Amino acid sequence: MKALFKPEPGAGLQLVDRPDPIAGPDEVTIRVLRTGICGTDLHILRWDDWAASAVSTPLIPGHEFFGEVVEVGPLVHDVQIGDLVSGEGHIVCGMCRNCRAGRRQMCIRTEGLGVQRDGAFAEYLTLPGANVWVHHSSIDPEVGAIFDPLGNAVHTALAFPLVGEDVLVTGCGPIGLMAIAVARHVGARFIVGTDVSPARLELARSMGADYTVDVSTSPISDAQVALGMREGFDIGFEMSGAPTALPQMIENMTHGGRIAMLGLASGPFSIDWGKVVTHMLTLKGIYGREMFETWNAMGAMLQSSSVLRDAIASVISERFPARDWQRGFEAAAAGGTGKVILDWTQL
C-alpha cells in the first residue's frame, strides 16, 4: 500500500510503498478514504521536542479518518465488511482502574493511533474493533474524517449544562468553531468567541456566535456591555492555549462559573488563584473524547440537525489528493481558518 512514512527520528515524511497491515483477531482492516490533518501531525512532520519525546518510529502517522471496513477479525462484534467508519484513536489497556470503572478516556496506558502505532495516512489501517465507530446514517466522507476533532469540541461543549447559559469561547480555530456550533445547537443563550484572526471571527459568527472580540484590540468585557449581560459568563471553553486566554476568561466569569479547558499551553503562565477560590470557579481539563458517550452525542446531533451538519462541514476549508500531501501539510501549517482534508482515493 501507499503510505506517508517516517522511517526514523527526524524531520520530514515520505510517500512510499509499505506492507499492508495485518489485523489481529480483535481488529478490523479499514480502507482509508479521507483523512484530516491535525496539529499533532505537523509536530510529527517537523520532529519538534514534543514529537521526539512522544513518538515511536518507524511510524505511519495520522489519526483523523473516514473509511470502509474490508476485513473483520473473528473476535470483533457489531462491525461488518462494508461498514463506513471513523475511529477512536486512543487505544486503551482495559485493565487499569479507570478502564475497569468505565472511564476509558482516562486510561493510564493510552496508546495513540498515528503516534505510538501506525495510523491513517495510508491506503489501509488496522484498529481494534472496540475503537471503530460505525456511521449508521448517511454522512459526508469529509465530515466523517473530522469526527476526532469534532469529538474534542463536543466533549468540551458538553462538559457542563449549557441550556440558557452565557458561553465564552477563547480561540476560534476549527475545534473552537465546532464548539460554538454545538453550544448553539444545545441551547446556550449568548455565545461570544474571541481570537486575533478577523477571518476566524467571521466564521465564528457564521457558526452561531452572537458577538466576537478581537482580543488584540478590544477587551472581552466589551461583549458583556454589547449584549446587556450583568454578571459575567456562566460557561467558558478555553480552546486556544494562549497564555493570556485563561486569565482573561477568569476575569469575565460570573461567580460559580465553570471553565472547560482543551487548549494546551506552550508554557506556564500565571492566573489569579484568589479569584478562582473566592469566585468559586470550576476548571476542568478536557482531553480527547469520552468513550463512547461523546461519539453517541456526535452521531445523534448530526443525524437530527441539518443546520449543525452544515455548520460542521463548513469548517473544512481545503482539500487535496493524497498524492499532493505536501501541499496539504503546507496549508495546514499556514494556520488558515479551517480543517484540511486528504483524499486517499487520489494517489
| C-alpha cell of residue 105 | 478516556
CB 90 within 8 A of CB 54: no
> For 129, which DSSP code?
G
Rounded Cα–Cα distance for residues 139 and 136 (Å): 9
Write the burial class of residue 93 (CB in 10 Å: 0-12 exposed, 13-18 middle, 19+ buried): middle
CB 16 within 8 A of CB 5: yes
Active-site entry in 40, 110, 156, 194: 40
Active-site entry in 43, 90, 155, 185: 43
Please indicate whether residue 194 is annotated as part of the active site.
no
Rounded Cα–Cα distance for residues 319 and 228 (Å): 41
> What sign does the dihedral 121-315-312-218 (CA atoms) show?
positive
CB 121 within 8 A of CB 342: yes
Rounded Cα–Cα distance for residues 217 and 150 (Å): 29
Please indicate whether residue 294 is annotated as part of the active site.
no
Instruction: Report CA Rg, the chain.
Output: 20
* Active site members: 40, 43
